Amino acid sequence: MKPTLKPGIRYEHRYRVPASKTVPALYPEAEEFLAMPEVFATGFLVGFLEWACIKAINPHLDWPREQTVGIHVNVSHSAATPPGMEVTASVELIAVEGKKLVFRVRATDGVDVISEGTHERFVIDRERFDAKVRAKAGQA
């Protein structure tokens, strides 16, 4: 982690929602999802917010050796967004607690605020992380 990794880092990320990021596409093998409206899926919204947080802090890490993984998500999804609309995520790093990073996150679709909340990420050493995952897979 570089000394520049401090609270106050902000980032804004834009993305045009394609049909492949709607609820029916979330788990296409689930008939329940296939029957639901074609709007930006909460699962993909969470990934979009994570993406914005990653983009915000990667310049402040020894990327790609150091990376971050999501460890906690606490967000609303308060408005539906149809495909074709552009969503904007605004994120701010509000706390650095050792290797734990806490973000305030917000997303809009040009009409509504679609999400607000917090997201936490943890800084990892990719090589060590992969070794632990391989060891765990060997126990399965």
Does residue 42 have an active-site annotation? yes
Q: Which helix (H) or strand (E) holds 47?
A: helix 42-57
Catalytic member of 42, 88, 108, 118: 42
CA–CA gap between residue 89 and residue 14 (Å, rounded): 6
**Active-site position among 13, 22, 50, 81:** 50
Helix (H) or strand (E) holding 132: helix 126-139
Q: Which of 13, 60, 77, 119 is catalytic?
A: 77
CB 106 within 8 A of CB 77: no
Residue 77 annotated in active site: yes
Strand partners, 86: 16
Cβ proximity of 99 and 82 under 8 Å:
no
- Residues annotated catalytic, as ranges: 42, 50, 77
